[in-house]
């Protein structure tokens, strides 16, 4: 794993977790904490628009998705060839 992949991994995981939990913490969906699971993600499984409600949620998802693609695109070719 090279430095570029590490940067993509850190940025991607951070923005994905932000994207995942921002509807719960921002109060966009006030019914989230009601229920038996106390986590709220299962209650919101039918309502996908809560994860794309604001522009910064969409931006966070795009950054996470792009970081995942960049992580696989910037692999070291020498390390892959040595394993084979």
Using a 10 angstrom Cβ sphere, with 0-12 exposed, 13-18 middle and 19 or more buried, the burial of residue 9 is middle
Q: Please say whether the beta carbons of 52 and 58 come within 8 A.
A: yes
pTM, entire model? 0.69
pLDDT tens-place values along the chain, 84 residues long:
889 999 999 999 999 999 888 877 666 554 444 444 455 555 555 566 677 778 888 999 999 999 999 999 998 877 656 666
Q: What is d(CA 3, CA 9) in angstroms, rounded to the nearest whole number?
A: 10
Using a 10 angstrom Cβ sphere, with 0-12 exposed, 13-18 middle and 19 or more buried, the burial of residue 67 is buried
**Domain count for the chain:** 1
The pLDDT, as a whole number, for residue 27 is 60
The pLDDT, as a whole number, for residue 11 is 96
Question: Which structural domain, as residue segments, surrounds residue 52?
Answer: 3-83
The pLDDT, as a whole number, for residue 32 is 47
């Amino acid at each position: 794993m090279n430095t570029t992949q590490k940067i993509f991994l850190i940025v991607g995981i951070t923005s994905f977790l932000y994207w995942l939990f921002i509807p719960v913490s921002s109060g966009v969906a006030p019914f989230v904490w009601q229920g038996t699971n106390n986590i709220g993600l299962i209650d919101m499984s039918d309502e996908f628009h809560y994860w794309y409600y604001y522009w910064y949620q969409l931006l966070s998802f795009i950054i996470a998705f792009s970081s995942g693609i960049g992580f696989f695109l910037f692999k070291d070719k020498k390390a892959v060839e040595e394993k084979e």
